[in-house]
Structure 1
Amino acid sequence: MGQFTFGPVELYLIGLEGSRPSAGVLDALGELLDAGLVRLLDFVIIAKSDGGEVSVTELETGDDEYGLAGTEMAAIGIAGDDDIEELSELVPPGSSAALVVLELAWARTLSQRFAASGAEVLNVERIPAPVVNGLVDALHGLNEE
């Protein structure tokens, strides 16, 4: 098996205060991009009016209006209309969110190595961080008793 162009991809819907990502959101994303842990594929702003009308803004590579100057996106448009429509239902009326599509760069390498060895990834499960942390806290509480 040759090189994979892309590794596993995750879609993050991030609730925003206002209509654009804050400096903190952009800094957090920038740190991961700079470290090479993820690659930004697509970035979409979803806004929902108080009446429930949805507007979508697809950001472009280097879009300075939203603080992404100098940031390259490797697959603009990969967040499809179906993804956007489904996830827009989670955006409360009168607010906005960023749909950030990230490739897990480290997982691309891992997937390539598995495939090269003849192995096949049959399934991957993701446990959200709050669930893991709550479980570990509960386990530590049990172990301390």
Structure 2
Amino acid sequence: MPEFRYGPVEYTLVGFEGERPDASVIDALTEMLETGHVRLVDFLLIAKSDAGEVTVIEVEDDPDGIDLGDIALAASGITGEDDIAEFAELVPPGGSAALVAVELTYQRELARRLAASGGVVLQHERIPAPVVNALIDHLENEGA
């Protein structure tokens, strides 16, 4: 059976006001990483000027920026230029965002076994938490 050093990697682009995410966002990320279910692979800050000029900062190259404490990026640089350009299109002019790439370590074994069996993931979709919660609330209120 093949050995995988990494499980699937998921990107999340989080828009925020100002040039840096709030400290509570970093705290939530740190707490999630401490569970061991995910591993931080890459972390970038993307800013777009009012004129549309894009600036990208690798968190590890920004000593005065975001403090990740003892957390090291597992594969800094895995986010390619094409990926960054695609995500940067979603940042509004005058806005900023954090692009966070996390390895879903809890899925590594499943990925290994799928590959060993010849299985291929044909599609993967994610429903954002706000949508799931709104749908569940609607369904529960509909039945009340």
Q: Distance in 2 between matches of 1:61 and 1:37?
A: 26
Instruction: Please state how far the C-alpha of 1:111 moved relative to its aligned partner.
Output: 2.3
AA aligned to 1:120 is G
TM-score in terms of structure 2 length: 0.88
Task: Report the equivalent of 1:129.
Answer: 129
Instruction: Please state how far the C-alpha of 1:61 moved relative to its aligned partner.
Output: 8.0
Mapping for residues 47-66 of structure 1, pairs under 5 Å: 47-60=47-60, 63=63, 65-66=65-66
Task: Report the equivalent of 1:68.
Answer: 68
Q: Is the Cα–Cα contact under 8 Å of residues 62 and 72 in structure 1 kept in the other structure?
A: no
Q: Distance in 2 between matches of 1:106 and 1:45?
A: 26
Task: Report the equivalent of 1:77.
Answer: 77
AA aligned to 1:128 is P
Task: Report the equivalent of 1:99.
Answer: 99
Q: Is the Cα–Cα contact under 8 Å of residues 59 and 65 in structure 2 kept in the other structure?
A: no
Q: Distance in 2 between matches of 1:63 and 1:103?
A: 24
Q: Distance in 1 between matches of 2:141 and 2:120?
A: 34
Instruction: Please state how far the C-alpha of 1:138 moved relative to its aligned partner.
Output: 1.9
AA aligned to 2:97 is A
TM-score in terms of structure 1 length: 0.87
Q: Distance in 2 between matches of 1:142 and 1:16?
A: 34
RMSD: 2.0
Q: Distance in 2 between matches of 1:111 and 1:41?
A: 17
Q: Is the Cα–Cα contact under 8 Å of residues 61 and 72 in structure 1 kept in the other structure?
A: no
Structure 2: which 5+ runs fail to align?
A: none
Q: Distance in 1 between matches of 2:62 and 2:118?
A: 38
Please state whether the residue corresponding to 1:66 is helix, strand or coil.
coil
Please state whether the residue corresponding to 1:60 is helix, strand or coil.
helix
Task: Report the equivalent of 1:30.
Answer: 30
Please state whether the residue corresponding to 1:107 is helix, strand or coil.
helix
What is the count of residue pairs matched by the alignment?
143
- What is the CA deviation profile of residues 96-117 of structure 1, one whole-angstrom value per residue up to 9, with x for unaligned ones? 111000111111133234445x
- What is the CA deviation profile of residues 6-56 of structure 1, one whole-angstrom value per residue up to 9, with x for unaligned ones? 111111111122212221111010001111011000011101111111111
Q: Is the Cα–Cα contact under 8 Å of residues 46 and 57 in structure 1 kept in the other structure?
A: yes
